[in-house]
Structure 1
Amino acid sequence: MSIAEIELLIDEKYQSTPLPHPNRSLAIWHFLTAAEDALRHKLTRRDIPTGSIEYFVDRAKYSLKYGLDRIEKESRNFSAEQFPRRAVASCYERGFRLLDAGLDYSVGCQICSSVHNKTNGAARVRRPDYH
């Protein structure tokens, strides 16, 4: 399998992850709500080594970028909606899945970039358990 084929599989896997909501504003709100909870959960644990936290935060910033970019490009419903007082469970779950898929996607992108650049950065990539 070529690197181009691997990249296509990585892209397809990420693109197959549904957006949190069809409405752009509600998709962003649920995505960021899920991301905030995931970050708070990860960063307030005392049993996580500093290196793991640094790695997670670095990957999370890319996941946030990828998720927000996808919502921006793919959302077609721009109607004004009132944000819910509490997250809609199914939308929140899709927001979390999009964040998690973005974490995997960022690792895949780094590995492919390392292969293209013929660096050993791919050897240093690891995806610890974030949960």
Structure 2
Amino acid sequence: MEVRVLPGEHFYGFLRFYGKGITFPKGHVESGETYEQTALREVSEETGYKNLEIVKSLGVVTRPAIETDGTEVIKDIYLFLMKITGDDKGKAEEETEWLTIDDALTRLMPQEVEFLKKIQLEIYED
């Protein structure tokens, strides 16, 4: 998700977790949903922003995760670049931080850092 605060500057929304760490907004696909629909729903629920539009698919990042029951799994996370198209904001389920890509690279998990570095130029094209 992206918001332009000053001309030429881009800030992206990440969710805070475990102190100073951050992660991409994400969630589980519900029955009958596409990955795009899931992404829009989850980002809206987690950040509170209602007017979101997918700009493009960014691909898939694969990383280890721990389920709520303690089971270790490997997750495929489908990521999309989104933009906020209006001021309608509801209650956020999670704390959102707005960071530059460079700042985010210092706080993401290693697999997410590797992925973000690969797609960094593609993000700046829009």
Which TM-score band (shorter chain)? under 0.3
TM-score normalised per structure 1: 0.24
If you compute each CA radius of gyration, which structure gives the higher value, 1 or 2?
1
Between 1 and 2, higher relative CO (CA 8 Å, sep ≥ 6) is seen in: 1
Q: If each structure's helix is expressed as a fraction of its own residues, which one has the higher value? A: 1
